[in-house]
Structure 1
């Protein structure tokens, strides 16, 4: 079997739904490429050993920053996009922590392929790491741990700390979307939020925060999108044996 045959026979197609925020899909794709090369190690030889990736970006999904007010239009956009991408790949994920609130509804659509949910990946990481306490940083719908949070059941697995004041974090996330991750004002603000947390391990449960996480800190910053990238690369390398997602496999109920 030559190199082309090996690459074609072993790789499943993986997918990314992007659009909330503008850079989130690019960030997850870049992490997938880096993780793929790292897993293959010396066996990685370039183009033909890269994963097969499908991306669909829907800007309307950005309304999820205020999910309580925009549930209906966000779900309409989510359902349309999910139905399209599920027909194009074997395993896929939504590059947004907030949008993973829709995990049970996505499951109920009975779409082909395997949906990799952010809360599912985090639950697996918590179990594997044995961690007992963490800080949760994300957009207000996520970090409030209320009815609109994809992580509202996380406290059943581990002790969870959230910021005392959510507004500075929410404003920071909006500004990453609006100004772009290279803006010089963002990282000092993020450092202040990180330093105010008591937990030694902080879960970055917003796809904007990893874009500005190159700060100096003694805390361990765990990027959920890194964990999702690992899961997607594993599905890619596993071939076309990815199972259809069933509601019972998911942790949260919308």
Structure 2
């Protein structure tokens, strides 16, 4: 199905990001972001807000590395684009990691140009660190190099902010998300309600609120994979009724009760 003009413009703005990364074009990549934009990478870490912070983020995590995007699906829900993908990063020491990821881009129009106002990268920091260390000496060398580089560009406070990405709902959240998706796929309304907070929001597609009954009817026999726990959110690649999508499940602070589920789809 052809995209409408706005959706096509949003997707084009997002697709410019991997091109700038591949070209190591710092100015082009930073220029994709709007005024006071935020990069939350990974979700759960402290966001990088504003141009100067985003430039430092580039200098720390993008500039020194070779990064390729392997995109499986794009989901456009104006003014948001969600990408279901793998990112392969080869560091200066030769260590390579492949990270499953869901990327959410929220965009805003500035002077007739679509700009990224928030980039939320759903991936698991602990899993990436373990994968890096399993590469042996190149991975250890990369980790030892990244630490001083992180402190030099971000400061001690920034380094601590990055390490917050190790916290969040983790495996417990993924277990709850799995039970929730299983109950929804089985149209078990009682179990679905039992895992929701009292003011929970369900959007399918994202931006369209629906009832629990409507939700369970829509996603009957749903299948899912690629669960990613980042911060207080779990994302998953989902399929139901010939529709592909990415579900983002949000959890209450200090609990495993679900406060929102939004499914971005290709329908």
Report the TM-score, using the length of structure 1 for normalisation. 0.27
Instruction: Please state which structure has a larger fraction of its residues in strand.
Output: 2
Report the TM-score, using the length of structure 2 for normalisation. 0.26
| Larger-gyration structure (1/2) | 2
Instruction: Please state which structure has a larger fraction of its residues in helix.
Output: 1
Q: For CA contacts below 8 A with separation 6 or more, give which structure has more relative contact order.
A: 1
